[in-house]
A and B are shown apart, each in its own frame.
Chain A
């Protein structure tokens, strides 16, 4: 009788789509996308928001360049999470500020920190 029970238990799609404000489209594994707190909530089937129904997320305040880096980071994190001696993720200095803002917005502050640190190292 709760919302959760009312939803038919559809298997979730493996891939989701992220679209930047300048219409760059990225297909990314749901499991990796969920590493961002904001994206995870957005896609949560329990809430039933539009994004969770369509599997498509629009980001009106993120550019394609930055969103690409975000996706790259999410994969990077998904792959190396919890491991030691991981290779650096290269971040160009010119996107670092924007990337930091996006990280804050997407609730994956690790990107910001690591990004800046990596940036400083380069």
Chain B
């Protein structure tokens, strides 16, 4: 299998602060990778570099065959193929649910209007919100917003999905529905997913592979079973023991 995302000696700084330290990673097409670690460890930053929302200062970052750090790369072209789901949903506040899903396919992909609408309704149906098509984002719950946000990303037919703490801002009773949708998305055989999460049970369920980060470094990168049963890194062991206690 060939790789979808490849970090080669990536360094990221915020001023003096070294946010990502010499990251080397290769994520293959179709893989579901869960990224965990304490807050401030750089996991969100790492996921946001993949679609260029954060720039890197050194190294190479190859996404779907194109180097993001290369100035000649058209970042908008890469972003079409990389969907992103945000912690705070970020639904377009001035558009209703259906328009949220249809806007980017219309103005970025120039998709035929009829086909676009058919696809949007099908996606809404998939996430169980067909009856909310004409609601404004302010009129639906957090869990529903996040499901719309996932449908919005899928409307671009991405090859890769980034989930940046998709359930962290949700009430507990909303989380399961959202996780159910994410699980469905990651189960598509050709979809590559990178998920930043604190939901360990969910991580165990969907991940092929788990990456543990702390202080801007990747400290452990293992298959799911190996990571949860025998983490080799001391920090990862401590982190897991703390999480499981709660």
B is a partner of A: no
